[in-house]
């Protein structure tokens, strides 16, 4: 059986949201499954790489706000920027990992709800109670989920997830790994599609040009 596609994501990334709307269908077209792997992008960017968050980086911030909107338009998904400050995905990522251990498919449905809450509805996802509310709509025991989010086991699970992501070289999200091939960004989904279809990079550029030329 073919290996699953690893999908590293952080709920606070608009690009990870866009990637999350595409990755399952893309992988399924090639007989693959997806292994969703939550990370904290702030740890990667600020603590590991020693950089400022992209939205706070001069020149890049304005570009990203423009680019996120057009990327959503390209992929045809609902999207809007929010004006939230100081939000984070710590509780949501711990919740996801707890759900994933029990039911990976349920965890993915939960992830879609969290992404939608932040990037479509513009509502905060920081508080554990808010995360539990989203999970409750899927029939999850909220008391057990809240306990898991606050537990040492929950903290350790996310720490281990971060250690793994750093070990494989994930430096941003969305980050995909297929058969050992790393790809960063939802604008690389076409490359992932080509790799899953052909298992090689040869001819990828020509295929894109031919496809574009064939369009009316």
Token pair, residue 66, equals 């423009």
Q: With beta carbons less than 8 A apart as the criterion, state whether 191 and 5 touch.
A: no
Radius of gyration of the chain from Cα atoms? 18
For the segment 34-38, the average pLDDT, to the nearest whole number, is 98
Q: Is residue 104 part of a domain?
A: yes
For the segment 4-25, the average pLDDT, to the nearest whole number, is 98
**Pairing between β-strand 5-9 and β-strand 34-38 as defined by DSSP bridges:** parallel
| Domain with 109 in it | 5-187
Q: With beta carbons less than 8 A apart as the criterion, state whether 8 and 175 touch.
A: yes
- Per-residue pLDDT at 119: 98
**Residue 49 predicted with pLDDT over 70:** no
Domain count, the chain: 1
Q: Of 184, 4, 10, whose CA–CA distance to 94 is shortest?
A: 10
- CA 5/CA 195 separation, integer angstroms: 11
For the segment 169-184, the average pLDDT, to the nearest whole number, is 96
Q: Is residue 210 part of a domain?
A: no
How high does pLDDT run on average in the chain? Answer: 93
The pLDDT confidence band at residue 208, using thresholds 50, 70 and 90, is: confident
- Per-residue pLDDT at 189: 97
More confident residue, 2 or 124: 124
Q: Is residue 23 part of a domain?
A: yes
- CA 81/CA 5 separation, integer angstroms: 28
- Per-residue pLDDT at 1: 56
Q: Is residue 212 part of a domain?
A: no
**Weakest-pLDDT range from 5-9, 49-53, 57-61, 102-106:** 49-53
- Per-residue pLDDT at 46: 67
Which are the contacts of 84, defined by CB distance < 8 A and separation ≥ 6? 118, 122, 124
Q: With beta carbons less than 8 A apart as the criterion, state whether 15 and 185 touch.
A: yes
Q: Is residue 144 part of a domain?
A: yes
Could you read off the pLDDT of 148-159 as tens digits, one per residue? 999 999 999 999
Q: Is residue 133 part of a domain?
A: yes
Q: What is the pTM of this model?
A: 0.93
- Per-residue pLDDT at 107: 98
Q: With beta carbons less than 8 A apart as the criterion, state whether 78 and 112 touch.
A: no
More confident residue, 21 or 215: 21
Could you read off the pLDDT of 92-111 as tens digits, one per residue? 999 999 999 999 999 999 99
- Per-residue pLDDT at 79: 98
For the segment 17-31, the average pLDDT, to the nearest whole number, is 98
Q: Is residue 195 part of a domain?
A: no
Buried-exposed string 25-34: b where 16+ CB fall within 10 A, e elsewhere: ebbeebebeb
CATH number of the domain at 126, please.
3.40.30.10
Could you read off the pLDDT of 78-88 as tens digits, one per residue? 999 999 999 99
């Amino acid at each position: 059986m073919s290996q699953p596609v690893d999908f590293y994501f952080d709920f606070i990334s608009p690009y990870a949201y866009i990637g999350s709307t595409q990755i399952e269908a893309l992988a399924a077209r090639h007989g693959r499954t997806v292994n969703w792997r939550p990370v904290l992008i702030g740890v990667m960017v600020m603590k590991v790489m020693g950089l400022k968050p992209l939205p706070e980086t001069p020149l890049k911030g304005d570009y990203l706000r423009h680019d996120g909107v057009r990327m959503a338009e390209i992929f045809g998904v609902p999207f809007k920027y929010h004006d939230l400050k100081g939000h984070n995905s710590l509780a949501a990522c711990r919740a996801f990992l707890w759900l994933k251990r029990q039911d990976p498919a349920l965890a993915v449905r939960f992830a879609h709800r969290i992404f939608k809450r932040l990037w479509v509805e513009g509502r905060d996802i920081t508080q554990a109670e808010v995360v539990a509310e989203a999970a409750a709509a899927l029939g999850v025991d909220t008391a057990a989920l809240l306990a898991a989010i606050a537990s040492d086991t929950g903290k350790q699970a996310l720490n281990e997830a971060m250690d793994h992501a750093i070990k494989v070289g994930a430096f941003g999200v969305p980050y995909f790994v297929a058969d050992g091939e790393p790809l960063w960004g939802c604008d690389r989904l076409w490359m992932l599609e080509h790799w899953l279809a052909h298992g090689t990079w040869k001819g990828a550029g020509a295929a894109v040009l031919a496809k574009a030329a064939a369009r009316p």
